Amino acid sequence: MRRPERPEPVPIARAIAGSLAAGAAYLLAQAADIRALGVPTNDLRLLAGMVPGGEVRWRTLGTLMHFANSIALGLAFTRVRDRVPGTGWRQGLLFALAENTVLGPILFLTDRFHPAIRAGRLPRYITPRGLLQQVIRHIAYGIVLGATLGRRE
């Protein structure tokens, strides 16, 4: 019995570059959806606010945390992409929406315990518009991730 061929691994530099591009797409989508929907659910402020004293330098710290998350998620995608249906951008889209669905319930805890949300400096995320924003952002991330790191047709 023949073993199935193992797919070629994605070179680490390419994986990081694709992940950073996808993370940038996420931030562009965030800026657009905040303007379009009028709800300032800023994920950079959310991330930085989870670190004691992080709200002081939320732009820098939140950006670093966001891109670190983008790389970690992108590297995870390269490990499982051959099990995700489709090719290219479709794979990335499915992967990012699955991640959003699986990790989405964490937002219930965030809404309840995050210091900036409790103090009213950030809006709650578990609202129809807040959830729509998360979907929009993950669509942007996933499409770029899949376009750069997904299987070729």
Per-residue model confidence as pLDDT tens digits over 52-80: 999 999 999 999 999 999 999 999 999 99
Residue 141: which domain range? 12-149
Give the predicted TM-score (pTM) of the model.
0.93
Give the Cα separation of 53 and 124 in Å (integer).
Answer: 20
And the tokens for 44? 């950079």
Please give the torsion angle defined by the CA atoms of residues 63, 66, 67 and 71, in that order, rounded to the nearest 10 degrees.
Answer: 170
pLDDT score of 50 more than 90: yes
| Domain contains 40 | yes
* Residue 61 located in a structural domain: yes
In the chain, the number of structural domains is 1
What pLDDT, on the 0 to 100 scale, is given for residue 9?
A: 84
- Asked if pLDDT for residue 106 goes beyond 60, the answer is yes
Q: What angle do CA 67, 47, 54 make, to 5 degrees?
A: 110
The verdict on residue 123 lying in a domain is yes
